[in-house]
Structure 1
Amino acid sequence: MIYGIGTDICDVRRIARTLDRKSQRFAEKVLGPHEIEVFRARFAKVEARGISYLATRFSAKEAFSKAIGMGMRMPMTWRACEVVKAASGKPEIRLHGELATWFAARGLRAHVSITDETDYAAAFVVVERAEG
């Protein structure tokens, strides 16, 4: 059964401007432990790839927060929700701390799709509850 659906579109140029203004502190606020490592590696190699990565994660977290009906309030935090790649390359949601506990207690499962182009990143999240 569908618990919630969320979608978000993000202007990559806005993320780039915010990153310029706030330096990597912005990335550290938004990205979880695994994501920040990937971001730094991509940003060091090709800045535009790092910025696109940050924008897709920002968008996915916004979409996830909408799908769970919570917005950005506890236990939902930027760093408690990560978007990681499965071995197949498929993006998956990984949760930490209180958010992981809250999510599991409700028997929820998330599905995420992310995409980006030069100027935009978008994400779509479906959260379902196990029936039973």
Structure 2
Amino acid sequence: MIYGIGTDICDVRRIRASLERHGERFAARVLAEGEYRTWQQRSARWPERGVRFLATRFSAKEAFSKAIGLGMRMPMTWRHCEVVNLPSGKPGVRLHGELQRWCEARGLQIHLSVTDESDYAASFCVVETMHQNGSSCLSPLVE
């Protein structure tokens, strides 16, 4: 059963401007540890790729926060929501801390799609509740 749906579009130019204004502190505020390491690697090789990576993560977290109905208030935090790639390449969400416990208590599963073009990153998130038997009709949360 669908718990919530969220979508977000992010202007990559705004993310670039925030990075220019605040430097790595901006990325460190938005990205979980694993995302931050990936961002540093991509930025070192090709700075524009790092900006786009950060924009897609920003957009995905916004879409997720809307789908769960919390916005950016506890237990939802930027760093407790980590966007990862499953072995298939499909994007997924790994939760941490209180946000993970909050979602587990509600039996939530997360499905995410992200995309980007030169000036925009967009995300779509569907959050569902698990069936009575503990199974889901879609893919499970990332462990």
Tell me the TM-score normalized by structure 2: 0.92
Partner of 1:107: 107
Alignment of 1:30-109 (within 5 A): 30-109=30-109
Question: Residue 131 of structure 1: CA displacement?
Answer: 1.8
Post-superposition Cα deviations, 1:64-92, rounded to whole Å, max 9, x if no partner, equal: 00000000000000000010001111100
Partner of 2:9: 9
Q: Partners of 2:113 and 2:24 in 1: how far apart?
A: 25
RMSD (Å) for aligned C-alpha atoms: 0.4
Q: Partners of 1:72 and 1:83 in 2: how far apart?
A: 16
Q: Partners of 1:6 and 1:58 in 2: how far apart?
A: 13
Q: Partners of 1:88 and 1:36 in 2: how far apart?
A: 21
SS in 1 for 2:103: helix
Give the fraction of aligned pairs with identical amino acids, expressed as a percent.
Answer: 64
Partner of 1:122: 122
What count of residue pairs does the alignment treat as equivalent?
132
Counterpart AA for 1:123? S
Post-superposition Cα deviations, 1:23-61, rounded to whole Å, max 9, x if no partner, equal: 010000000011000000000000000000000000000
Q: Following TM superposition, where does structure 1 have runs of at least 4 consecutive aligned residues deviating by more than 6 angstroms? A: none
